[in-house]
């Protein structure tokens, strides 16, 4: 493990990817309170919510109000997921300065739901990029299920490269590889990350892993060894993907921070504050969360001097 980074950047996605699957609808003021807590804990990148249609994702219906209530926070990137051009316009209206588009790497899934290939979907994002740029809004892209999908199994690397090139063609060069199906394995993750870093040096990469089969931490470590330094996490391990069968929650942010703290990899985030926020979220939602550190505590807290 000689290739590990000295520091990584974590994006907290619990308020979006975590809450979108919960039956409990948190009030706007509570979301703002949690968001302030995440900022205080040291996160410099946070996914606040999404601008999906409220009927499709009612948990995210108040994302506009959350942005308006918080306002701009210097030095912190507050991003939101968008589905289309209307999402960009909502971002403009509420003061959101960073939006993210998403496409499925599964051709079968994309053709069935949108009657388009993934590449055609990305080409259709050109208007979103133009509108975002005209309004001073940064824009990134995500590829969900790049490692494997429940419909095809393993996705060929050539298919992922084709989607990456479609993103670059429309002017999006920050790209997230998002294992929403939780089917990625470490050697595959290492190979893909090493390959895309070498082939597309102009791109900035994020990795987003779900812990569906207990491999998210191993996959993060494999991605680090391949040179990746930007990762998503969800406090408490909240979330999952409503569109993928049996897709359990995201990797717990505090589990990632704990690993990094123990290995001497800087995150800039206070794990104690994150754990407290996860306990608050557990109480608000009324059920246990999928976080090892929340259950067991930090190893260093067990040591009696």
The catalytic residues are 241
**Half-sphere CA count of 186, side-chain side, radius 13 A:** 11
- Count the neighbouring beta carbons within 10 Å of the beta carbon of residue 287: 10
Residue that has been written with the tokens 């979006």 in this structure: 16
Region label for 58, one of left (φ > 0), alpha (ψ between -120 and 50) or beta (otherwise): alpha
**Half-sphere CA count of 106, side-chain side, radius 13 A:** 22
The span from the CA of 17 to the CA of 179, in Å, is 13
Q: Nearest to residue 270, comparing CAs of 230, 303, 298, 295?
A: 298
Residue 164: both structure tokens together: 């990456």
Distance of CA 292 to the CA centre of its chain: 19
Q: What are phi and psi of 156, to 5 degrees?
A: -60, 140
The span from the CA of 221 to the CA of 225, in Å, is 6
């Amino acid at each position: 493990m000689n290739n590990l980074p000295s520091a990584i950047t974590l994006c907290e996605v619990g308020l979006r990817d975590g809450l979108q699957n919960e039956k409990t609808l948190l009030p706007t003021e509570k979301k703002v309170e949690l968001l302030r807590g995440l900022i205080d804990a040291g996160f410099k990148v946070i996914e606040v919510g999404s601008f999906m249609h409220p009927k499709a994702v009612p948990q995210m219906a108040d994302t506009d109000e959350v942005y308006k209530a918080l306002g701009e926070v210097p030095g912190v990137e507050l991003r939101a997921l968008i589905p289309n051009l209307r999402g960009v316009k909502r971002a403009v209206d509420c003061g959101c300065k960073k939006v993210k588009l998403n496409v499925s790497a599964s051709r079968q899934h994309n053709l069935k739901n949108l009657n388009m290939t993934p590449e055609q979907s990305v080409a259709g994002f050109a208007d979103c990029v133009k509108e975002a740029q005209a309004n001073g809004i940064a824009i990134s892209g995500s590829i969900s299920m790049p490692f494997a999908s429940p419909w095809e199994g393993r996705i060929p690397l050539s298919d992922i490269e084709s989607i990456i090139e479609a993103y670059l063609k429309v002017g999006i060069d920050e790209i997230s590889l998002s294992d929403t199906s939780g089917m990625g394995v470490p050697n595959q993750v290492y190979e893909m990350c090493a390959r895309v870093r070498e082939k597309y040096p102009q791109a900035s990469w994020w990795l987003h892993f779900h812990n569906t089969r207990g491999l998210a931490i191993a996959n993060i470590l494999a991605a680090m060894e391949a040179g990746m330094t930007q990762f998503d996490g969800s406090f408490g391990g909240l979330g999952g993907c409503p569109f993928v069968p049996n897709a359990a929650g995201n990797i717990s942010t505090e589990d990632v921070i704990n690993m990094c703290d123990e290995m001497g990899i800087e995150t800039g985030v206070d794990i104690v504050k994150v754990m407290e926020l996860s306990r608050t979220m557990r109480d608000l939602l009324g059920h246990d969360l999928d976080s090892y550190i929340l259950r067991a505590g930090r190893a260093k807290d067990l040591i009696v001097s």
